[in-house]
Amino acid sequence: MSAPASTASLANKFLGAGLAGLAVTALGLFVSPAQHVALSYLVGVAYWVAISVGMLLLILIHHLTDAGWSTVIRRQYEHGISAFKWLFVLFLPLLISAWVKPGLVWPWMDLGHTIHGGHTVGADPLYLKKAGFLNLNMFTGMTLGFFAVWTGLAWLLRKASFSQDQDGDAKWTFMNRRTAAGGIVLTALSLTFAAIYWMKSLEYHWFSTMYGVWFFANCVRGGLAFAVFITCWLYARGDYKGIFNTGHFHALVALAFAFVVFWGYVTFSQYFLIWNANVPEETFWYNIRESGDWWYVGMLILFGHFFVPFLAWLYYPFKSNRKPAAIISGWVAFIILVDLCYNVLPALKDAHDEPLPFLSINLLWVLTSVIGVGGVCVWSYLRSLPTAKLIPIRDPRIVESLTHHDATAPEPGAASAH
């Protein structure tokens, strides 16, 4: 099925913006040190991986819980996860750099890299204890495995869902449920190891048992934030009118609100356990982020990631009305990016082994990377959008989903999916 002219034109614009962003990021190699640009690019890739993994998780949870209300939203997640194959291509420069110039992004890959105290990575007892896990071959194999899991699950889930639109056979529902049963375990493990390999290992001395759960929380929060954007856009365009009502929207935002609390719990637990234990191999990570302008970034994350959306979404109209919910979701999406910067960029050190300031030209490369990778991801979504029905019209629970409503603010009217 060919894309409507309007959707095709919009997709091409996003692709153009994405390619421009990637080109500017590449030009940054002539302005800033290669390591600075590479770590900024890592932030951009990790940001869009988190959003795509979040959408994948929401599909898996939908099937595992046999949810009814979210059936009309699920198709948009399915279009969103079409980006995994492109995210793999966009991650390849980082993977290639690891082989061509070990230590450029991840210092532990260069055994001769000098660490604090004048020692080298190869002579560091803490690295030697982790060398079976932190080595280039393992890193490469695991990274290929992450994308294989995500891309494979995306293909299986999309194929079954789209096929059901054609024949209405319930076997596709059961197939997706079985896929979700194993897929949720594989996705949980892969996102955890991806967070550890790509971000946590930048400062490999650090220990945290909560890191994978922190990344999981940001993945789902990012997926939900973009689900709010997509549903608002489709409703404004007229596609969702009479289909996606206030009840659906309130349930979607209420789920996002729940993950605000979950993120707060996970982040507080990580900080409290490390502060309480007071082990140098753990505390140093926060110590370097509580000096200079990184302290203000930490405060921004604390209040912006939790208190702002938490207090705002306590107010019912901000959960049920599209404009305020979209604004708050936009804020959440922005803070997730800041959170990733907070986790990655302090790995860049100056001559005194102090983290480089947050406010630097590196933020420009983060911005161009987010635009570059994001443009490709949105292009992938828009290219997939017209290839299937707006909603899974023959899903066994579609009638239940269409009649889901909020008794306090019903929206009358009906329209057929196209």
pLDDT in tens, 184-220: 999 999 999 999 999 999 999 998 999 999 999 999 9
Go through 178-191 and write b for each residue having 16 or more CB atoms within 10 A of its CB, e for each that does not.
ebbeebbebbeebb
What is each CA distance from 16 to 23, 117, 249, 374, in whole angstroms? 10, 47, 31, 11
Mean per-residue pLDDT, 58-77: 96
Evaluate whether residue 22 is within a structural domain. Answer: yes
Nearest one of 170, 416, 221 to 335, comparing CA atoms:
221
Evaluate whether residue 407 is within a structural domain. Answer: no
Burial class from Cβ neighbours inside 10 Å (0-12, 13-18, 19+) for residue 362 reads: buried
Contacts 24+ apart (CB under 8 A), 357-362: 357/292, 357/293, 357/294, 358/292, 358/293, 358/294, 358/296, 358/297, 359/293, 361/31, 361/32, 361/36, 362/32, 362/36, 362/37, 362/39, 362/40
Evaluate whether residue 365 is within a structural domain. Answer: yes
Q: Please report the pLDDT score of residue 114 as a whole number.
A: 86
Q: Please report the pLDDT score of residue 406 as a whole number.
A: 56
Q: Please report the pLDDT score of residue 115 as a whole number.
A: 84
Evaluate whether residue 203 is within a structural domain. Answer: yes
Domain range for residue 308? Answer: 5-402
Q: What is the pTM of this model?
A: 0.94
Evaluate whether residue 12 is within a structural domain. Answer: yes
Q: Please report the pLDDT score of residue 173 as a whole number.
A: 95
Evaluate whether residue 185 is within a structural domain. Answer: yes
Total number of domains constituting the chain: 1
Helices (H), 66-107: 71-80, 84-100
Q: Please report the pLDDT score of residue 1 as a whole number.
A: 38
Evaluate whether residue 408 is within a structural domain. Answer: no
Evaluate whether residue 175 is within a structural domain. Answer: yes
Mean per-residue pLDDT, 363-368: 98
- The proportion of the chain whose per-residue pLDDT surpasses 70, expressed as a percent, equals 96
Cβ neighbour number for residue 262 with a 10 Å cutoff = 15
Task: Judge contact between 47 and 343, C-beta under 8 A.
Answer: no
Q: Which of the 8 DSSP states describes residue 369?
A: H
Mean per-residue pLDDT, 305-323: 95
Mean per-residue pLDDT, 325-333: 97
